[in-house]
């Protein structure tokens, strides 16, 4: 089957589905200029940090608890490299599809907030977001647009404790609320699963594709390379996220989707 025929078939699946689960990873944000993971930043691929640590050690829950200045140093460096990025066509198409069909849901590993900026609201941010800070000592939390004017590490204005981004650091548990939301989506069932820009190495990211395979639900993968779920899906688009989603949108709607 030619790429154009596969796009036509996938567009028909997307057009028919009332409930679609999109699963996204660093690849969807690459077209916004963000480096893929070693996509929490892509800045440390195959090398140690300046402090002689692996990025997994530097950005661990243990480091945040014991030496927050070290953890914050690299969190801030990654945020600075991502600052100013805007949602691309893939983010905007997914948000536009949600506006058409409230049953559309996004499960994302990304902490960059680009899905939310594009207008997605039915959003499971399984790894959290760098734009929300919470105190490590008290319940205080706040939203921030970026880290440009912040003291690093930031202090809590309520109790003086150390603030941290509300993200899952290495060695930490996933947020129970987001896990429960994902389980609820799968329990209700979906008509289509679309995996975009993720290698699916985490079991909870691959799980919905396995679920689709067992339930006889069509599943699509959009990724230039092979991944852990490539052999499970019913349709594969070996394309970048923005190109593929743009082509699908053109087959469904005239014009370009706007951010919501």
Catalytic site residues? 127
Number of H helices, E strands in the chain: 10, 9
- Tokens at 201, concatenated: 């190495």
Q: Where would I find the beta strands (DSSP E) of the chain?
A: 20-24, 105-108, 123-125, 128-135, 141-143, 163-167, 192-196, 219-222, 235-237
Whole-number Å distance between alpha carbons of 43 and 49: 9
d(CA 22, CA 5): 21
CA angle 209, 88, 202 (to 5 degrees): 30
Lookup result for tokens 């939203």: 143
Distant-in-sequence, close-in-space partners of 192: CB < 8 Å, separation ≥ 6 = 13, 14, 17, 19, 20, 21, 217, 218, 219, 220
Q: What six digits make up the tokens of 237?
A: 């688009």
Select from 146, 215, 198, 229 the least CA-distant residue to 28.
198
The residues near 74 (Cβ < 8 Å, ≥ 6 apart) are 41, 49, 55, 58, 59
Nearest to residue 259, comparing CAs of 119, 62, 51, 55? 119
């Amino acid at each position: 089957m030619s790429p154009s025929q596969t796009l036509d078939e996938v567009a028909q699946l997307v057009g028919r589905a009332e409930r679609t689960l999109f699963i996204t990873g660093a690849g969807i944000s690459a077209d916004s200029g963000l480096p893929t993971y070693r996509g929490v930043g892509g800045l440390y691929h195959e090398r140690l940090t300046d402090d002689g640590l692996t990025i997994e050690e530097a950005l661990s829950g243990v480091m945040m608890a014991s030496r927050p200045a070290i953890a914050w140093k690299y969190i801030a460096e990654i945020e600075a490299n991502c600052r100013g990025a805007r949602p691309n066509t893939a983010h905007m198409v997914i948000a536009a599809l949600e506006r058409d069909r409230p049953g559309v849901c996004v499960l994302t590993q990304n902490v960059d907030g680009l899905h939310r900026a594009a207008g997605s609201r039915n959003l499971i941010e399984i790894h959290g977001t760098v734009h929300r800070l919470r105190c490590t000592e008290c319940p205080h939390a706040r939203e921030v647009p970026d880290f440009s004017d912040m003291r690093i590490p930031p202090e809590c204005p309520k109790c003086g404790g150390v603030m941290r981004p509300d993200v899952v650091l290495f060695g930490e548990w996933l947020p129970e609320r987001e896990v429960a939301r994902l389980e609820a989506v799968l329990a209700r069932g979906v008509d289509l699963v679309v995996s975009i820009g993720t290698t699916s190495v985490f079991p909870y990211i691959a799980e919905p594709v396995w679920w689709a395979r067992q339930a006889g639900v069509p599943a699509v993968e959009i990724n230039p390379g092979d991944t852990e779920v490539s052999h499970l899906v019913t349709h594969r688009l070996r394309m970048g996220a923005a190109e593929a989603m743009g082509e699908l949108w053109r087959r469904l709607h005239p014009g370009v989707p706007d951010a919501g």
